[in-house]
Structure 1
Amino acid sequence: MPIDWLTLGAAALTGLMGGVHCAAMCGGIATGFSAMAPRGGWIAALEPNLGRVLGYVLAGIVAGAFGGGILGLARLDGLSTTLRAAVGLVLIVAALRLLDRRGRLGFLSRPGAGLWQRLRPLQRRLLPADSRGKRIALGMLWGWMPCGLSTTLLAAAWLQADAVNGGLTMAAFGLATLPVMLPLTWSGARLGRWLQRPTWRVAAAMMILLAGVLTLAAPWLVHVPAAHALLSALGCASLPR
């Protein structure tokens, strides 16, 4: 299946701008890892964050494969087109989530709350996090904490109906959070303050919103000859014309 560059770009922007929200929600967890590692703060910050990204990627692969399985079993005409439009709606929700300063969309994190309650006891088995493997494993668990942004992007990964694109979507989101979620590094602290400026958040949200609208409209834009080159470059070439 062709790589969906439009969705990947939107996922990366969501991760970069949403990293400030993640730092506010999980900053205590991120900085707490530094006390567990005897070898310097940046290593302690890097290892659990890489584990968190790996957790996102694995979730994206599973979600994408599950979506692909449903698509294969259903074999309904036009279902792939419907899924493409649904991805567009999810990206629009992600844009609105970035603009949500009062927590009106906090309910988006609820779907993962039940799973997190089952995974949470595993934390005790990994403490103290006195080895690299434990810190990475704790980071993977960290990636499964209820979060509206990650849940929204996981829905987009599921709607990709493809394990590779699902994993890539979550990888783009997770990797883009690293500049902010490495709070013990110089770039994390400085970039975090820079990204908190409303102007940048609104600009990024508008770009993600545009990506969502284009993705939502792609099933109909493929019938416009002038739009074929653009859609092909954005990874929409597989849509039926």
Structure 2
Amino acid sequence: MTMLDSFAALLMGLAGAGHCIMMCGGIAGAFGQSISTATLLVYNLGRITSYCIAGALVGYAASVLTLLMPDVLLILRFVAGLLLILLGLYLTGWWMVLRRLERLGTPFWRSLQPFAQRFRQSQQLPSIFGAGMLWGWLPCGLVYSALSWAALSGSASQGVWLMLMFGLGTLPAMFALGWFSKAIQSVLKSQGFRQAMGIIMIFYGVWVIQIALRQMSLFS
């Protein structure tokens, strides 16, 4: 894993601010208006914990594949760059292909959603943390793209680190609903902001693919 991978994971979280607000805004907004900042933090820590668990799983799976196929990390870097481009197209609204990935996780999410809502109604911090953990499994193209970088790490521990970076990148958007004005929220949700962030993701993805192709040529 390189600093590039950590930066990519953090950048994905930051760039998806508008997407996060639209996907999870109702929950975070309700928390920000009705409960303390500490409780909102606990909820988001639960959400990020689930991201880290998912990162550990895909990182470990990638480590097993690496033992069987030594060049698999080069392939994963290419795939990660491709998913970064698709994420950019998704954020801009130019091509919503990642919604197909989100649909794959919908049946699993439907089984979790009632429990998440039940936990959220409680004022106890352990229940709020549990609600955040369950909501972390909400089908989301942004999360799936970040998980591609966790797989690229090639280990469970590094997968946790990258998803932690991604989760930290999403925090400003989630706390914006409780702390920032509606004007700032409107900017984060605006099509212009989403397109600007999406274009950055596209260029970054192209750059990552070029690096992957260059590395592949060196080992061929």
Give the TM bin, normalised by the shorter chain.
0.7 to 0.9
CA apart distance, 1:45:
2.1
8 Å Cα contact 1:10-1:207 kept in structure 2? no
Is 2:13–2:167's contact at 8 Å kept on the other side of the alignment? yes
Distance in 2 of aligned mates of 1:104 and 1:218: 24
Q: Does 1:178 align with 2:171?
A: yes
Partner of 1:232: none
- Corresponding position of 1:67: 62
Contact 1:6 1:215 in 2 (8 A): no
Cα displacement string for residues 87-142 of structure 1 (whole angstroms, at most 9, x for unaligned residues): 21122222222112685542231222232233334336635422111111111111
Contact 2:116 2:130 in 1 (8 A): no
1:216 and 2:209 aligned: yes
Give aligned-pair identity as a percent: 32
Residue equivalent to 2:110: 117
CA distance in 2, matches of 1:104, 1:89: 12
Match of 2:149 in 1: 156
TM-score with structure 1 length normalisation? 0.77
Match for 2:19 among 21, 25, 35? 21
Q: Which amino acid aligns with 2:109?
A: W
Runs of at least 4 residues off by over 6 Å: none
Show the 5 A alignment for 1:21-60. 21-34=19-32, 37=35, 40=36, 42-60=37-55
Distance in 2, matches of 1:146 and 1:186, equals 26
How far is 1:184 from its partner? 1.0
Residues 177-227 of structure 1, C-alpha deviations (whole Å, 9 max, x = no match):
11111111137x564333345554344333322332232222443489xxx
2:99 paired residue number = 106
Change (3 A) 1:198 1:120: closer
Q: Over aligned residues, Cα RMSD in angstroms?
A: 2.9
Q: CA offset at residue 159 of structure 1?
A: 3.8
Q: 1:82 matched to which residue of 2?
A: 75
TM-score by length of 2: 0.83
1:12 Cα deviation (Å)?
2.0
Contact 1:4/1:165, CA 8 A, preserved across alignment: no
Compared with structure 1, are the counterparts of its residues 181 and 13 closer, same or farther at alpha carbon in structure 2 (3 Å cutoff)? same
Q: What is the distance in 2 between the residues matched to 1:124 and 1:206?
A: 35
| Larger Rg over CA atoms | 1
Query: How many residue pairs get matched?
Result: 219
Question: Which is richer in helix?
Answer: 2
- Supply the distance in 1 between the matched residues of 2:13 and 2:41 (Cα, whole angstroms): 17
1:9 paired residue number: 7
Ranges in structure 1 where 5+ consecutive residues have no aligned partner: 225-238
> CA shift at 1:54, angstroms?
1.6
Name the CA distance, whole Å, in 1 between partners of 2:215 and 2:65: 24
Bigger mean CA offset, 125-134 vs 101-110: 101-110
